[in-house]
Amino acid sequence: MKERYAIVLAAGKGTRMKSLRDDISKVSYPILKTPLLKYVLMALHPLGLKKKVVVVGFGGETSSKIAEKEAEIVWQKEQKGTGHAIMMAAPNLSNLEGNTIVCCGDTPLLTTQTLGALLDYHENNHNDLTILTAVLDNPRGYGRIIVDEKGQVEAIREQKDCSKEEEAIKTINAGVYVFDNKKLFDNLDKLSTENAAHEYYLTDMVGIFNRLGYKVGHLSCRDFQETLGVNDRVQLAEAAKIIRKRINTGLMLSGVSIEDPDSTYIGPEVEIGQDTVIAPNVHIYGTSKIGQGNEIGPDCHFENVEIGNGNTITHTHLSEVRIGNGNDLGPYLRARKGVVIGSHTRIGNFNELKNSNFGDGSKCAHLSYVGDADVGERVNIGCGTIIANYDGVNKFRSKIKDGAFVGSGTILISPVTLGEKSLSAAGSVITEDVPDHAMGIARDRQVNKEGYADLYRLQAEAKKNKKE
C-alpha cells in the first residue's frame, strides 16, 4: 500500500464570520466547546496517516495550539488562496511518494468513514486526483463540478467565477481531495491568480491535471450533510445542531438514556457508561469520563470531570473534578479545579468546593464553602461552614480528620486542623488546631439579662413617640 499523508487548510481569516477579533481564525470557532479544526483532525486520526500537516495563518497561534499535538504546523503568513496554502506545505511533503488527502479545517462534519472511503477509492482506481463531491439543493457558495459529456470531471468552477448555467449545477466540490503527492507538488507552480478572487485556487489543479493527461475522478458523498462548510455563523449553528444530534444518538445507541436530546449538549470527546440517565438541560464537555448507572441532571454543567458509577447529581456545576461512586450531589453544588470526592458522600444544597479532598462517607449538606482543605472520611460539615483559606495575599490549607463533626456556622481560619473525631461548637471561629477527640469552642459565653427584652421595647416605643 502507498503511504498516506494529509494536509488540512486552516489559514483563512473567515471574513464571513464578521468578527472584530484578530486572534482567532474561523477554524478555532467552537462547537460544543471543541474547535472546528479539532473535529477534522479527529476524523483523520484513525486513518493511520504517515504525516499530517496543518496550514495556519490568520489567528495562527490559536490554530497551532489546537493542532500541534496531532500534526506538523506550517505557516501561510499571507493568505493568497487554497492553492497558495498547499505551497506552504512543500518543505514537509513535496519529496514524498504516496497519496495526500487534502481537507479544509472548516468542514467539521466529515467522518473517518467518508475520508477513508475516498482514499480507498482513489487507490483502487489508480487515480491521480479524486474529488469528494455532493449534490446539494442549495449549492450557493460552493465550487461547482463541471463534467464533460463522458461524465469525467473537467473543472471546478468557484461560485464567483460561474456563468448563469454553471450556477445551476448542483454537484459541488466538498473541498476534500486525494492527490498523488508528487504530482500535486510538481505542478503547483502552474496555478495562477487569474480569477474573480485573484487567489491561487487549489481547485484549478483539476484543469491542470486534465491537461497533463492525469487520471481525475470523483466520489459522491453518501450523506451530503457531511460536506457542510462553516463559512458564517448561520452555518456554524447548523453544523452544531447536526454534530450534537450525532453525538447524542451515538450515546443512546450505546446504552445511555437521554431524556431530552434537544436540551442535552455533550462534547465529542466525552465518554459515558451504560445505564447512565441524563435528564434535561445537561452540558458535558471536554475530556469528561462518566461511568455507569449515574443519574445526571436536570441542569448540570460539567467540564473535564471524571465520575465513577451510581452517583446522583442534580443542578450542579463541576469543572476539573474527580468523583467516586454512589455519591449524592446537589442540588446546587459547585466544585471546581482540584476537587477529589470519594464515594458515598452527600454534598449539596448550595455548597462550593475548591481544590479539596472530600473523603468517603462525609457530608456537607447545606450552604458551605470548602476551599483548600483535606476532609477525611465520615466527617460531617454543618450548615454554613466556611473555610477561610485566603488572607488577601496567600492561600492556606486546612485539615478535617476522619470522623470530625464541624458545628454549624464554624469558620476555620486556615491553616488549622480539626483532629480525628473532634468537634467544633456551632458558631466557633477556629484559629488553632483542635486535638483528636477534643471539642473546640471559640465564641463568647452567653449571658441572659432578665427583663431586658421588655425594657428594650419600651425604649423603642419612647423613641417613636418623641419623633411624632
The helix (run of H) or strand (run of E) holding residue 121 is helix 112-124
Cell of 175: 473541498
The helix (run of H) or strand (run of E) holding residue 91 is helix 90-93
- Nearest approach in angstroms of CB 27 to ligand UD1 is 6
Q: Which of 11, 66, 216, 400 binds ligand UD1 (CB under 6 A)?
A: 11
Query: How many of the chain's residues bind Ca ion (CB under 5 A)?
Result: 3
Q: Which of 7, 9, 243, 278 binds ligand UD1 (CB under 6 A)?
A: 9
CB 371 within 8 A of CB 388: no
317 binds, among Ca ion, ligand UD1, none (CB under 5 to 8 A by kind): none
304 binds, among Ca ion, ligand UD1, none (CB under 5 to 8 A by kind): none
Q: Which stretch binds ligand UD1 (CB under 6 A): 3-11, 145-153, 398-406, 436-444?
A: 3-11
Long-range contacts of 161-168 (CB under 8 A, 24+ apart): 161/195, 161/196
Cell of 273: 457508561
- Confirm or reject binding of residue 64 to ligand UD1 (CB under 6 A): no
Say how far apart CA 124 and CA 98 lie, in whole Å.
Answer: 14
Q: Site residues for ligand UD1, window 154-173 (CB under 6 A)?
A: 156, 158, 172-173
* First CA to last CA distance, the chain: 101
Rg (CA), the chain: 31
- Confirm or reject binding of residue 106 to Ca ion (CB under 5 A): yes
Q: The dihedral of CA 128, 36, 228, 142: what is its sign?
A: negative
Say how far apart CA 405 and CA 426 lie, in whole Å.
Answer: 10
Peptide bond into 261 cis (omega under 30): no
256 binds, among Ca ion, ligand UD1, none (CB under 5 to 8 A by kind): none
- Confirm or reject binding of residue 59 to ligand UD1 (CB under 6 A): no
- Confirm or reject binding of residue 12 to Ca ion (CB under 5 A): no
Look up 437 and say whether it is catalytic: no
Q: Which stretch binds ligand UD1 (CB under 6 A): 75-83, 278-286, 329-337, 441-449?
A: 75-83
Catalytic residue selected from 122, 315, 366, 437: 366
Say how far apart CA 456 and CA 268 lie, in whole Å.
Answer: 66
Cell of 316: 450542579
CB 386 within 8 A of CB 372: no
- Nearest approach in angstroms of CB 234 to ligand UD1 is 14
Cell of 96: 514524498
107 binds, among ligand UD1, Ca ion, none (CB under 5 to 8 A by kind): ligand UD1
- Confirm or reject binding of residue 296 to ligand UD1 (CB under 6 A): no
Q: Is residue 346 exposed (0-12), middle (13-18) or buried (19+ Cβ within 10 Å)?
A: middle
**Alpha-helix residue ranges (DSSP H) falling in 194-232:** 205-211
Q: Which of 35, 207, 229, 440 binds Ca ion (CB under 5 A)?
A: 229
Residue span 200-239 as binding mask against ligand UD1, x where in contact by CB under 6 A, dash where not: -xxx-------------------------x-x--------
Say how far apart CA 436 and CA 461 lie, in whole Å.
Answer: 51
- Confirm or reject binding of residue 55 to ligand UD1 (CB under 6 A): yes
- Confirm or reject binding of residue 82 to ligand UD1 (CB under 6 A): yes
Query: How many of the chain's residues bind ligand UD1 (CB under 6 A)?
Result: 31
Residue span 93-132 as binding mask against ligand UD1, x where in contact by CB under 6 A, dash where not: -----------xxxx-------------------------
Say how far apart CA 314 and CA 333 lie, in whole Å.
Answer: 8
Catalytic center residues: 366
Question: What is the contact surface with Ca ion in residues (CB under 5 A)?
Answer: 106, 229, 231
Question: What is the contact surface with ligand UD1 in residues (CB under 6 A)?
Answer: 9-12, 26-27, 55, 76, 79-82, 84-85, 104-107, 142-143, 156, 158, 172-175, 201-203, 229, 231
